[in-house]
Amino acid sequence: MYLLPTVVLSLVVDFIAAHGSDQSFLDNTLLRKHQVQNVLEHQTATVAGCKHIPTGPIETTKCDYETIESVNGELYSQLNDLVRTPFFRYFRADLYRECPFWQENGLCMNRECGIATVDESEIPEKWRAASLSKVEMPPDEMRNTLPGCYYRDSDFCFLDDMTEGDYIDLTMNPERFTGYSGAPANRVWSSIYKENCFGISEVMLRSERHDPANSFADALRGELEEQDEMCTEKKVYYKIISGLHASISTHICRDYLNQSTGEWGSNLQCFVTRVASHPERLQYIYFNTVLLLRAFARLGPYLSAYDYCSSGTHEEDAYTLTKLGSVIGIASVVGQFDESSLFQGQDANVLKEEFKTHFRNVTRIMDCVGCDKCRLWGKVQTSGLGTALKILFELDERALDPKTNPNLLSRNEVVALVNTLHRFVESLQFVDEFRRMWAGVDKSQSHALIREAEEAVTSQRIHDESDSYLDDEYGPDGSRLPRRWNLFVEVKRRIQHILRVCRVSTIQCLRRVLTDSAEVLRSVFARSDKMQGPHSDL
C-alpha cells in the first residue's frame, strides 16, 4: 500500500529542477524565480530609453519598456480627459445577440454585471443610428452580413449593425470586478485561446523558409520536428490576445469588490496571482500599447480631420482635438511597431486571411459572454484592436488620407480605438499603483501573497488537467465513446503535476506527494460502478 508514495517520492527527488537566476520582468525568459518581486519591485522609467534605436526588448517592436514608461503618465492624463469628452463617451453595442458557438445559459446575476444604457434622445442627432447608417454603412455588395453584424474584407472584426443595439455611456459603466467567473467565463477564454491555431498556412510558411520546393508532406514533417518554432505572425496574434486578457485582469484587480465588506478597492493578491506571477502577461500589455500607438500615429491625419462636434459651437470640438493632438504627438514618437515585417512572402495573404478569420471569431465570441458589462468591454476592446490591425495591415497612406477617404472608419471604430488605447495605458498606471502597495507590505505579508498565488496556480493546473485521466475511445463509425478512467494515465498525470509543484516549494511538494498518492489509491477503489472493489480497468 505504501509502494506508490515511495515511488513517487523517489521520482520527485530525482527530477526537482533548479529555480534559475534572478532576472528582471523585462527579460524574455519566462521561467525564473522571484518573478513576483521582479514585477512589483521594478522601478518605472522616467526618461526615454530607445530614442528610435531598434534595440528592443519589446519583441517585434522597435522600442523598449522604459520608453513607454517614461511617457505613460502624460499619455494617461491626456487619454483620461479624451475618453470623457462627449464624442468618445458614447458607444453603441448590441449586447443581446445570441452566442453563435454554443448555448449560453451561464448569465451573470450579480448586480455589477448590469449596465446603464442611454436613451437615444440624449445622443446628439448627428451621432444617432439613423444618421450614421446613411453615411457609414457600406453597400451590401461590400460587406459580409450576419444577423445583427457585418464585416468588410479589410476588417479584422465583426461590427455591430448600427440599426441594432443600445447607446452606452462608457464612463458610467467602468471596467471592473463583476463576479462573473467559473465555468462560463473559463469557457469564453478557452474558446478565445483556441483561435490561436493557424494550421496549414503556418506550416506552409515554415516550409517556404526552409526550402520553397518542399511539398506539404515535407512541411508537415518539419512542423512535427520543430514544434517550438512559431511564425512571427502567430506570436503577434498570441501576444495581442494574452495582453488583452492581462489588461482586463489588471482592471478587475484594481477595482475589486470585497464581497464581505461591500467596499471597492485595489486587490493586491488578485494582481499578484493573475498578473505578477506571470511576467510575460505584463510584457504583452506593453506590446499591445506599442501596437495601438503605432496605429494611432498612422491614423493621425485622419483623426485630426474628423468632426467631433455635437453642440454646434465647436468649443468642445476644439478641446477634443487638443487632447487628441497630444496623444497623436506621443504616439508618433513611441509607437515604434514595424508592421512591414509581417505578412511577407509568397503565401503571406493566406496567413493574413487566416489571422483575420481567427480574430473575427474572437469578436463573435464576445456575444457568448454572460455578463453584460464584461460583454460591453469585450466588444469595445476587440473592436479597438481589430481597428488597429486594419490600420496597420490593410490600409496604405492613400487609404488613410481624410480627403480621399473621409468615411474610412465608422464612429464606433474610432471610439473603440481610443478607448482601447486608454484601457492599456490605464493598466500600466494601475501596475504602478500595485507596486506602491507592494512596497508598503512587510516581508511576511509578501511571502503570504506569493504563497497564495502559487497555490492558486497549482489549483488551476489541476482544474485544467482534471479530464486528462480519461481516455478517448472511438466506435467503429469514428464517433467518440464515453471516456473511461485509466489508472496509468491518472498516476502519470499526478506525477507530472507533483513535479511542477516541487519546482515551486519543497513543503508543498511533500504535502502534494502524500495527498495525491492517497487520493489515487482511494480513487482506485471508488471508481467501481458498484463501489465493491477496484475498477475493472485494473
Active site positions, annotated: 371, 374
DSSP states of 372-419: HHHHHHHHHHHHHHHHHHHHHHT--TTTT-TTT-TTSS-HHHHHHHHH
Which residues in 25-125 belong to E strands, given as ranges? 90-93, 117-118
**C-alpha cell, 158:** 465583426
Residue 45: which residues within 8 A CB-CB, separation 6 or more?
65, 66, 67, 69, 70
Spatial separation of the C-alpha atoms in residues 239 and 283, rounded to whole Å: 9
**What order do you get walking across the sheet with 90-93 strand by strand?**
90-93, 166-169, 117-118
Torsion angles phi and psi, residue 71, rounded to 5: -110, -5
Q: Which residues of 496-506 are buried (b: 16+ CB within 10 A; e: fewer)?
A: ebbbebbbbbe
Residue 250: which residues within 8 A CB-CB, separation 6 or more?
271, 274, 275, 285, 427, 430, 431
Do residues 429 and 76 lie in contact, with contact meaning Cβ atoms separated by under 8 Å?
yes
Spatial separation of the C-alpha atoms in residues 168 and 90, rounded to whole Å: 6
Name the packing angle between helices 232-254 and 182-194 (round to 10°).
Answer: 160
Spatial separation of the C-alpha atoms in residues 416 and 422, rounded to whole Å: 10
Residue 144: which residues within 8 A CB-CB, separation 6 or more?
150, 151, 152, 153
Spatial separation of the C-alpha atoms in residues 508 and 498, rounded to whole Å: 9
Helix, strand, or coil (residue 55) = coil
CA angle 465, 466, 468 (to 5 degrees): 65
Spatial separation of the C-alpha atoms in residues 53 and 56, rounded to whole Å: 8
Spatial separation of the C-alpha atoms in residues 272 and 453, rounded to whole Å: 6
